[in-house]
């Protein structure tokens, strides 16, 4: 499967600041990436679909102006949490879509965000 990296792995920030998370596909050209959020003891919730060269598609209830997604190349998608608040503290995970027959997704190692 595809090898996916995320940076940073862990970030602590003050309330009101913005945080950028990078997702890189290291060995695979990814037209489509996904961003998920996972709260403790809960499953992954899809936030948005990131499409290379076009606007991201957000899931219902996810504020596009708060969670800015940029997918400028086939190997990089970024998620920026703007004006972060403590309730945004979560585990953010990206995935790369293998658009082959089974449409598998391969996940990055995740970024743990703590907003103080």
Q: Is 99 in the site for another protein (CB under 8 A)?
A: yes
How far is residue 59 from each of residues 25, 42, 51, measured CA to CA in Å?
Answer: 22, 18, 14
Task: Decide: helix, strand or coil at residue 88.
Answer: helix
How many whole angstroms separate alpha carbon 110 and alpha carbon 116?
19
Least Å distance, CB 16 to another protein, is 27
Which of 3, 12, 72, 104 forms a contact with another protein (CB under 8 A)? 104
Determine if 58 is a binding residue for another protein (CB under 8 A): no
Would you count residue 30 as binding another protein (CB under 8 A)? no
Binding-site size for another protein (CB under 8 A) equals 24
Q: What is the DSSP string of 41-52?
A: TS--EEEEEEET
Does position 32 interact with another protein (CB under 8 A)? The reply is yes
Stretch that binds another protein, among 13-21, 65-73, 75-83, 95-103 (CB under 8 A): 95-103
| Positions in the binding site for another protein (CB under 8 A) | 1, 32, 34, 42-46, 49, 57, 91, 93, 97, 99, 102-110, 112
């Amino acid at each position: 499967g595809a090898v996916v990296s995320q940076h940073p792995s862990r970030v602590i920030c003050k309330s009101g600041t913005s945080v950028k998370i990078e997702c890189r596909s290291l060995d695979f050209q990814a037209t489509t990436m996904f961003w998920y959020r996972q709260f403790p003891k809960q499953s992954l919730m899809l936030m948005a679909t990131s499409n290379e060269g076009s606007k991201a598609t957000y899931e219902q209830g996810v504020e596009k102006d708060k969670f800015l997604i940029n997918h400028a190349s086939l190997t990089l998608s970024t998620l920026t949490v703007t004006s972060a608040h403590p309730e945004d503290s979560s585990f953010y995970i990206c995935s790369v879509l293998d658009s082959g027959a089974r449409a598998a997704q391969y996940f990055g190692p995740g970024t743990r965000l703590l907003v103080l």
